[in-house]
Amino acid sequence: MTDEMIRLSREKRFLVLLGVICLALIGGAMYMQIVLGEAPCPLCILQRYALLLIAIFSFIGAAMPTRRSLTVFEVLVVLSAIGGVIAAGRHVFILANPAVSCGLDVLQPIVDGLPLAAVFPLGFQVEGFCSTPYPPVFGLSLAQWALMAFVLTSVLVPLGICRNRKKQS
C-alpha cells in the first residue's frame, strides 16, 4: 500500500466516523423529541438537515476512489457544517436573548415545506419555539452542543485534508 493510499484511507475512516457521529446526534435529538417531549423548532430542524447532509456527504466521500472526488465531498461536508454553524449560532443567540424570535411564523412554512418534512414528519417537521429553554445536557444547551459539533467539523475536516496531503506534490 502506497503512502498516498494510506493517507486517503485515513481520511475515509475519519469521514465514516463523522457520518456515524452525525447520525447518532440526529438519533439523540429524536430521542429527546419523542421520549422527553422536547419539541423541535425551525432552527433545530435546520440543524438536523445540516447533520444529515454531513452524514450523507461523508459516507459518499468515503466511497470515492480518487483524491479529487474525495475532496469534492469533503468540501460539501464543510459547506454543510458551515450551514449548521449559522443555524446553531442563531439558536444559541436566541436562547441567550429570549426576547428575540427565531421567526417561527416565517421559518415554519419554509422548513415544513422541505421534502423530508413530508416524507418523515416526525423527524423533520417544526413543533416548537426556538426560545424554549430545555434542560441542559452536561451544562450546555442542545444548540450549544450542535454549534460546537459544527465548528469542530468545519475546522477538523480541512485540517485533516491539509495534514494528509501536505507531503504530496
Q: What is the pLDDT of residues 111-121, one digit of tens each?
A: 888 888 888 88
Residue 117: per-residue pLDDT: 87
Instruction: Give the CA dihedral 144, 26, 109, 116, nearest 10 degrees.
Output: 160
Residue-wise pLDDT tens digits, 67-82: 889 999 999 999 999 9
CATH 3.20.20.140 describes domain 3-165: no
Question: Given a cut of 90, is residue 63 above it in pLDDT?
Answer: yes
Instruction: Specify the DSSP class assigned to residue 140.
Output: B
Sign of the alpha-carbon torsion through 126, 130, 134, 137: positive
Provide φ and ψ at 137, rounded to 5°: -110, 115
Residue 10: per-residue pLDDT: 84
26 vs 105, which has greater pLDDT? 26
Using alpha carbons, select from 144, 160, 146 the residue that is nearest to residue 46. 146
Whole-number Å distance between alpha carbons of 78 and 7: 19
Question: Mean pLDDT across the stretch 53-79?
Answer: 94
Residue 169: per-residue pLDDT: 46
Q: How far is CA 106 from the centre of its chain?
A: 22
Q: How far is CA 144 from the centre of its chain?
A: 12
Q: Is 37 left (phi over 0), alpha (psi -120 to 50) or beta?
A: left
For residue 22, count other CB atoms closer than 10 A to its CB.
27
End-to-end CA distance of the chain: 18
Inter-axis angle of helices 42-62 and 3-34, nearest 10: 150
Q: Where are the domains of the chain?
A: 3-165
